Amino acid sequence: MMSTKTKSSKKIALYSLIIMGIGFIATTPFQGSLWLNLLHGGFEAGLVGGLADWFAVTALFRHPLGLPIPHTALLPNNRKRMTNGLVSMLKNDWLSKESIQEKVKHIPFTEKLIALFVKQMQTDTFRKGMIKLIKQMIRYIEIEKITPFIKNQIVSTLSNIEMSKLLQLVSSQLLNEQFDKKALDHILNKVETWLREEQTRYRLGTVSMNVLNNIQADGMLAFALKTIQSLLNEEKLGNIVQNLLLSVIKSLQREEEPNREALILYIRKEIRSINENKELVEGIEKWKNQLLAKWDPDQLIAESLHQIQQNALVFLENKEFIDTYLLPLMNHILDNIKENKITIDDWIQKQITVFVENNHSQIGNLVQENLDKLDNETLIDMMENNVGKDLQWIRVNGAVCGFIIGIFLTGVQALSRLL
């Protein structure tokens, strides 16, 4: 479709030609006076100039009046040569590889992108878009697919734990928390509680009496044992043993007691060397492997991941998320990009240079393909829409200039007759 401006200028060119023709016809019968002769000569020259420029402009696009006049319809007849010239000029002159690559070298891509990004970060549209994007990414996570991966990572991590080192850490922590003293006090308290029970006294008496009865002795020792057995019964003997043991427990509970210190040192030594106990380490290692082989945490992991996913979506709804977490993170990323902008710009420029180097011919091919898709009529209409306005004004200028030149020449002729 021809544009409104082109149609308007075409009408003006037509009107100028009509005016010149009407003026020429109207002044022809009334020649004689100088002023009419000047007007007649002007209209005549304007008509000739307008017709000549009409012919020239029309000949660019089609045959004037449909007549196959030689050297007319220049565009349709020379379409291939013109399009090849246009493609060549575009590819080799206007958009040559060297000009594109040279221009790219002076573009601060990182600076421009950062400035644009910082500006967009302040808008509500950008913030809402980022939240929406993050939510979509979280929702797109398929828990069932990543559950086996996480399980394998957990099992692999647990399998690679060296139990000797773990036991060493445990022993260090136990000593730091004075577990040796606490363990000893706990045992002594339990033993004391057990010793004070009524039935414990009878058990101790029974056991002690059985021991005395089973002792094989001769002479004075046998006489002494029989004397003790006749003087003591199980209850009395149990009471003696009970009090004796309670006395031992009480002494071990006192901080300054040497036996207590010796016992604590022994416990401490055993705790320190727990990681050197090969049987213990091997047993725990075997127990760990058996436990991991039977462990089936898939459902637990999946449920935990689903819960994390839901918690993350809820967390994104928090108004403080953007200002407290997202924007600081993005600013940190931008700061890192600024620090490496020279490297980033070089990389971008290199990629564009390589892309242009490999695909520069496609510019000409693309233009050529688009031009080849157009038939002659469409191509002519397109050119008339873009340059037709100026071409139509050539016709107007031809008529006006012809009119002025005609008046001048007629005046010169009249002056020469007078002389």
Helices 341-359 and 327-339, packing angle to 10 deg:
70
Our CA angle for 42, 44, 47, nearest 5°, is 105
State which H helix or E strand residue 55 sits in.
helix 34-61
Place of tokens 């080192």: 165
Place of tokens 């009119």: 403
State which H helix or E strand residue 125 sits in.
helix 124-139
The three-state secondary structure class of 70 is: coil
> Is 0.85 surpassed by the pTM of this model?
no
pLDDT along the chain (419 residues), means of 10: 53 68 74 70 69 61 59 57 63 62 78 86 86 90 89 88 84 85 89 87 79 61 60 73 87 86 87 82 86 87 91 86 86 88 86 73 64 62 57 58 67 68
Output 79-87 pairs: Cβ under 8 A, ≥24 positions apart.
Answer: 79/376, 79/379, 83/368, 83/371, 83/372, 86/367, 86/371, 87/364, 87/367, 87/368, 87/371
Q: Of 250, 255, 267, 103, nearest to 191 (Cα)?
A: 250
Q: Which two tokens stand for residue 36?
A: 């009419």
* Per-residue pLDDT, 270: 84
Q: Do the Cβ atoms of 398 and 49 come closer than 8 Å?
A: yes
* Per-residue pLDDT, 308: 92
The string of DSSP letters for 327-363 reads HHHHHHHHHHHHHTHHHHHHHHHHHHHHHHHHHTHHH
Q: The dihedral of CA 149, 153, 154, 159: what is its sign?
A: positive
The three-state secondary structure class of 86 is: helix
The string of DSSP letters for 259-327 reads HHHHHHHHHHHHHHTGGG-HHHHHHHHHHHHHHHHH---HHHHHHHHHHHHHHHHHHHTSTHHIIIIIH
Output 16-19 pairs: Cβ under 8 A, ≥24 positions apart.
Answer: 16/46, 16/50, 16/395, 16/396, 16/399, 16/400, 17/47, 17/50, 17/51, 17/54, 17/395, 17/399, 19/399
Which residues are CB-contacts of 82 (< 8 A; sequence separation ≥ 6)? 75
* Per-residue pLDDT, 367: 64
* Per-residue pLDDT, 349: 82
* Per-residue pLDDT, 169: 87
Rg over alpha carbons for the chain, rounded to the nearest Å, is: 55
Q: Do the Cβ atoms of 171 and 271 come closer than 8 Å?
A: yes
Residues composing the chain = 419
